[in-house]
Amino acid sequence: MGSSLRNTSADLPPGAIYLPSFVSSEEEAVLVSHLDAGAWNTDLKRRVQHFGYRYDYKARSVTSGAYLGPLPGWIEHLKERLVAKGLFASAPDQIIANEYLPGQGISAHVDCVPCFDDTIVSLSLLSHCEMVFRDKRSKAKLTVLLEPRSAVVVAGTARYEWTHEIPARKSDGIDGKKVDRSRRISLTFRKIVRTI
């Protein structure tokens, strides 16, 4: 499980920002309720929902036929908040919801460079987890604890020169204690720059 997690600015690569308590517990409950009322896709090992555009995992692209329609109204306030805080120059138009059950994660990756703009924002709901960043050149490793209702911004160097991943495990070491994960949902906000 590694060392005990804590959050400091040194835990993040350049261009990444950690935002604790980005949404309230009331907002979290409303978001989860809307997501659970929707249709979860089970094509991957984890359940997902796409909004705005569908991302093709096999082709690693967004096709022009992937447009699903405008983002739902229940997420509008978050789009506006991301722009108001200066995290996006214009409103994101693609969101993916990922559900992680204890023991599930996502392998090291860089979000599709030709598909998405410079900024990626991921909002964590329901459970904590560890996110691991790795420098693609030096293999340096940094870890950060993503707490429920927090957001992590990945831009610039962190976006292009570091991978990020969620280790697939059932617990994390937090403040010297083993803490079990529970169901976690992430909402990842991105801006489409190109479709094929």
Q: Is the pLDDT of residue 148 over 90?
A: yes
Q: What is the CATH number of the domain that holds 148?
A: 2.60.120.590
* pLDDT, greater one: 5 or 165: 165
Confirm whether 1 is domain-assigned: no
Question: Cα angle vertex 14, ends 13, 19, to 5°?
Answer: 75
Q: Is 62 a member of any domain?
A: yes
Backbone angles phi, psi at 18, to 5 degrees: -105, 130
| Residue 3 belongs to some domain of the structure | no
Spatial contact of 152 and 187, defined as CB atoms under 8 Å apart = no
Number of domains in the chain: 1
Is residue 127 included in any domain, yes or no? yes
Half-sphere exposure for 37 (CA within 13 Å, toward CB): 8
The answer for 93, left when phi > 0, alpha when psi is -120 to 50, beta otherwise, is alpha
Instruction: Provide the pLDDT for residue 10.
Output: 60
Residue 4 within any structural domain of the chain: no
49-61 pLDDT, tens digit per residue, is 999 999 887 778 8
Q: Strands of 16-19's sheet, edge to edge?
A: 16-19, 151-154, 120-125, 184-190, 94-100, 47-51
Q: Which domain holds residue 107?
A: 9-190
Give the bridge partners for 153, in sequence order. Answer: 17, 121
- What's the Rg (C-alpha) of the chain? 16
Phi and psi for 36 in degrees, rounded to 5? -70, -20
- Is 196 a member of any domain? no
- How far apart are the C-alpha atoms of 103 and 99, rounded to whole Å? 12
Q: What is the pLDDT of residues 74-120, one digit of tens each?
A: 999 999 999 999 999 999 999 999 999 999 999 999 999 999 999 99
Give 3's pLDDT tier (boundaries 50, 70, 90).
very low
| Residues listed for the chain | 196
Q: How confident is the model at residue 1 (pLDDT cuts 50, 70, 90)?
A: very low
Asked whether residue 119 is assigned to any structural domain, the reply reads yes
182 inside domain:
yes
Q: Stretch 40-46: mean pLDDT, rounded?
A: 87
pLDDT, mean over the chain:
91
